[in-house]
Chain A
Amino acid sequence: MIFYIGSFALVLTGLYIAAAKKNLIKIIMGLSLVDTGVNLFLISIGYIKGGTAPIFSNAAIPGKTMVDPVPQAMVLTAIVIGLAVTALALSLVIKAYYHYGTLNVRKIKELKW
């Protein structure tokens, strides 16, 4: 249960940062926090306290003590996607700084925000 609360707290914190902060880098940090929260949420779905990896090498380990591998596969994919988005976002921020000389989103508004 504590994991679910923690993950939703992370998501909400991230959303708050992305919505309230003016600095583009901070907004991207907020988005990363959202991603982390979602990943934690996915992992905690399949988590069993004291469980082992789901590999059928030792027949003595009962299936019930193994954690669910599917959310872990999903999280691996989600981490990679999050990495790609963050990298792209940061490179766009570099370009934005190059063009506008500021990272403040209130000042970057030649198109109507």
Chain B
Amino acid sequence: MVVSPVLLIAVPLLLAFIAPLCGKAAKYIPPAGALFNLILSVILIPTVLKSPMIVSIGGFPPPFCINLFVGPLGIFFAALISLAGFLISIYALSYIRERAVGKYHTLYLLLLTGATGVVLTGDIFNLFVFYEILCISSYALTAHNAHWHRHGTEAAVKYLIQGSVGSAFILLAIGMLYGFFGTLNMADLAKHIARAHSSVLFIPLTFFIAGFGVEAAIFPLNAWLPDAHSVSPAPISAIFSGIAIEIGVYAIMRVVFTLFGAPLSVMSVLLIVGLLTLLVGEICAFRQNNIKRMSAYSSIGQIGLIVFAFGLATKSGITAGLFQITSHALSKILLFLTIGYMIYSIRMKNYPDKYVTEIEINSLNGLGKKMPLTSLGFAIAAFSLIGFPPFIGFSSKLLIVKAALLKGGIYAVLMGIALIATVIEGAYFLKVVQGIYFRKGEVEGIKENNVFILVPFFILAALIIFAGIYPGILTKILNSSSGELLNRIGYIGRLPG
């Protein structure tokens, strides 16, 4: 074995608690930790593609210990999380400089730890614990500006109440599964569930979907998202939209596919829920005046599309869903970071002593000449989210359409409805891009000159275009990831004994 994947979780966790001791240097710790994770997960990819790694912790053999299951899906998500975490933390080097700076870096690293832990663990209770680390640090990060901006508090309280009810449901479901089968190891549970009668499984499965659905913001459970994503500072909105909600989707899919074997009825429900989420999200986004709220609702829409793709429950559908997760993570992070920089510049010019994280769409008018690189980044992100070629969003949406048509029948009709939502998405994003470039606004004296903020834009934009032109670089890992989700027998078979 080359290096242990345990380090992917242990190093950010350790660094999270070293960060407050470092004083002024604390801000360099999150980029270092995330870069370490990125390099480690990229190194591990070839090994994992050959065969998944299983790491037992505590010296007992599975299923008696907590184990990590590092399959293609886990390592793919770990790489995505650390890539996003790295770029956002570079941006945050100069963006987060007011008040609770040290605490921000601790919470940020804890969020990355929780997210990485959720995707790598092979034990359902351990998954819950990491999920709670992710959620609690998200609640606290939402309230990052609570001291001098009242909306942060309100959004955080809302998020916390809904999130903790969701967590209670997850824990109840875990308790029920343990009561029925006497094990917490996911492979072992899957083995038992495959033999069990489906009537006892209905309630735990519903509770799991409802609980994880809060974090994933699927339709009836998404009330917290627009507030939490719009009031928090730009790096936090970006990590929420790019990583946190995707982890919710991952958890749902891991439970539905690996534990419960994707029963057709549940997949149809997920398909419809995904479609509803997509439509509700895009329609709400269309009527927003606040640019960050609009992007937050657009995240709901994109999550709906991802859940829709997974709901097809075919190999091509899951691959397309994973591709859409990558595409949404990269594009939405770029979108939130560019919006954050625009708002920051406008605020610094107009009201330097007030704390502003949200702004009306009209205030961005005319920025295209003053902040050319940022505006270009925004346009690239928006076009990619709409699905214009040659950006990555085009490839991912094309794959979803292909998967739906391959399944045919009613699925093709539903895909048509999903495409209407894309048209709405195009309408509101193009409106903003047009305003930025072609309308006149009061933006005298605004400049862009911060290299730490501009470098992540370049990297993200380059990745979006590169992966859009050569989608082939992702197909290998995504194919084996979707294989891992569908191949339940293979997952169970990894269990020794």
Contacts and interface: CB of A to CB of B under 8 A. Distances in A.
Contact of A88 (B147, B155, B160): B160
Nearest first, the 5 closest Cβ-Cβ pairs linking A and B are A99-B150, A45-B179, A95-B153, A111-B227, A34-B168
A71 B231 CA distance: 39
Contacts of B171: 38, 42, 78
8 contacts: A34-B168, A41-B175, A85-B167, A89-B160, A95-B147, A100-B150, A111-B227, A112-B227
A56 B129 CA distance: 28
Please classify how large the interface on chain B is, using the bins under 10, 10 to 19, 20 to 34, 35 or more. 20 to 34
Nearest to A87: B136
B150 A110 contact: yes
B146 A95 contact: yes
B143 interface: yes
A45 to B, nearest CB: 4
Contacts of A67: none
Contact of B129 (A34, A45, A81, A95): A81
B151 A24 contact: no
Most buried by A among B155, B157, B223: B157
Given A35-B168, A78-B171, A81-B129, A24 B150 contact: no
Contacts of A55: none
A42 B167 CA distance: 14
Contacts of A70: 178, 184
Given A42-B175, A71-B175, A92 B156 contact: yes
A66 interface: no
A93 B175 CA distance: 30
Given A88-B160, A92-B160, A108 B178 contact: no
A92 B146 contact: yes
B154 A108 contact: yes
Interface residues of A, number: 35
Nearest to A94: B153
A111 B164 contact: no
Contacts of A109: 154
B315 interface: no
B112 to A, nearest CB: 18
Contact of B168 (A27, A28, A38, A95): A38
Nearest to B175: A42
Contacts of B457: none
Most buried by A among B132, B150, B153: B153
A100 B179 CA distance: 45
Which DSSP category, helix, strand, loop or mixed, fits chain B's interface?
Answer: helix
Which DSSP category, helix, strand, loop or mixed, fits chain A's interface?
Answer: helix
Interface of B: 125, 129, 132, 136, 139-140, 143, 146-147, 150-151, 153-158, 160-161, 164-165, 167-168, 171-172, 174-175, 178-179, 184, 223, 226-227, 231
Contacts of A34: 164-165, 168
Interface in A2-48: 11, 15, 18, 24, 27-28, 31, 34-35, 38, 41-42, 45
Contacts of B146: 92, 95, 99
A78 B132 CA distance: 10
Contacts of A110: 150-151, 154
A106 to B, nearest CB: 13
Contact of A31 (B125, B154, B165, B175): B165
B472 to A, nearest CB: 43
Given A24-B157, A93-B157, A81 B132 contact: yes
A38 B207 CA distance: 13
B153 A74 contact: no
A45 B160 CA distance: 28
Contact of B172 (A38, A89, A95, A108): A38
Nearest to B231: A111
Contacts of A28: 161
A93 B178 CA distance: 35
A83 to B, nearest CB: 11
A55 to B, nearest CB: 17
Nearest to A93: B157
Nearest to B228: A111
Given A18-B161, A92-B153, A93-B157, A38 B175 contact: yes
